[in-house]
A and B are shown apart, each in its own frame.
Chain A
Amino acid sequence: MKISFDKLDKAFENRVRLQIMSVLAANQRYDFNSLKDLLNITDGNLASHLKALEKEEYIVVHKSFLGRKPNTNYEATPIGKQAFKEHLNTLEQLIKQQKVT
């Protein structure tokens, strides 16, 4: 069975989105600022990628307050986790496939 690159999730084509999903797969929740520090990208850049993932319903946003400071947390949805898993599986199969040929 030949697996093509089309099977890779389009939402994860962008590196930052894939990284965000990786973080949310390893942690139950992650806040905006910690994500920003970890990925080392700008506010605007991160926000736009988070928006895109939210639109795909791969992540949900939890807004709360820590004292008076707004604290925005992100969590992967079951759909998002599934998509991430499938993306990883496809990557793995692609590697195997290339080893054989």
Chain B
Amino acid sequence: MEEKELQNELASIRSIMERSSKFISLSGLSGILAGIYALAGAALSYFFITSNSPEYYSIASKNLPARSLIYVYADGIFSLQILFVALAVLTASIVTAIILSKRQAKRKGQLFWGKISQSLLFHMAIPLITGGIMISIFISHEFYSFIYPSCLIFYGLSLISASNFTFSDVKYLGLLEIALGLIAACLPGYGLLFWAIGFGVLHIIYGSMMYLKYDK
């Protein structure tokens, strides 16, 4: 055996260990796009808040925390509009992630729907579903100011729990989302801003990093 052959042998062992235990077909590009959708969604929500409720806006900007979502969310119509935007962003992000990861899986020779992607989804789903139920409870009790922080915190937890089955970078993104969520919980009224940072800016930054590192 030549040195080259030995090196190849080791490289193939490393590759199969990685491919067997981690979903390496996660596309960085889908992260970037999810971030863009989130920023568009945040902008649209901001537009709903400011243009459709001049009196709330003026009250809010005169008194108390400016543009406070506590006030805006007191109006059921607006909260429904924003909920719709949030769900649209979520759906678009998931569909994009599925399409791009499927393509990536083909390129990397990994099964898109197999043992690993199933574990990944399962571990991601537990915190996400818990969060979804928690947020529905908040809505039913009209604790609107906790919605944005909870989205970020539970999403962060789900990323950390999923990170064992994919690139470890995802873990740090999760930690950042949790930190942002906790800060947002301390600052009611700025939820939308933190939401835009957490789901928009961070996704674009992490997506670009992962795109450059792994998508090639």
Contacts and interface: CB of A to CB of B under 8 A. Distances in A.
A22 B13 contact: yes
B1 A5 contact: yes
Contacts of B18: 26
Nearest to A95: B6
A14 interface: no
Contacts of B13: 18-19, 22, 88
B140 interface: no
Contact of A37 (B1, B2, B16, B114): B114
A18 B13 CA distance: 8
Interface string B1-20: 11100110110110011111
Contacts of B7: 95
B168 interface: no
A98 B6 contact: yes
A59 to B, nearest CB: 14
Contacts of B106: none
Interface of chain B, helix or strand or loop or mixed?
A: helix
Q: Name the interface size band of chain A.
A: 20 to 34
Interface in A58-101: 88, 91-92, 94-95, 98-99
A33 to B, nearest CB: 8
B10 A27 contact: no
A25 B14 CA distance: 11
A26 B20 contact: yes
Nearest to A18: B13
Interface of A: 5, 18-19, 22-23, 25-27, 30-31, 34, 37-39, 88, 91-92, 94-95, 98-99
B186 to A, nearest CB: 40
Between B2, B16, B21, the greatest number of chain A beta carbons within 10 A of the residue's beta carbon is seen for B16
B59 interface: no
Given A5-B1, A34-B114, A94 B17 contact: no
12 contacts: A18-B9, A19-B16, A23-B17, A23-B20, A27-B21, A31-B115, A34-B114, A88-B13, A91-B10, A94-B1, A95-B6, A95-B7
B212 to A, nearest CB: 25
B10 A95 contact: yes
A21 B2 CA distance: 23
Contact of A38 (B1, B6, B9, B16): B16
A22 B1 contact: no
Interface in B105-123: 111, 114-115
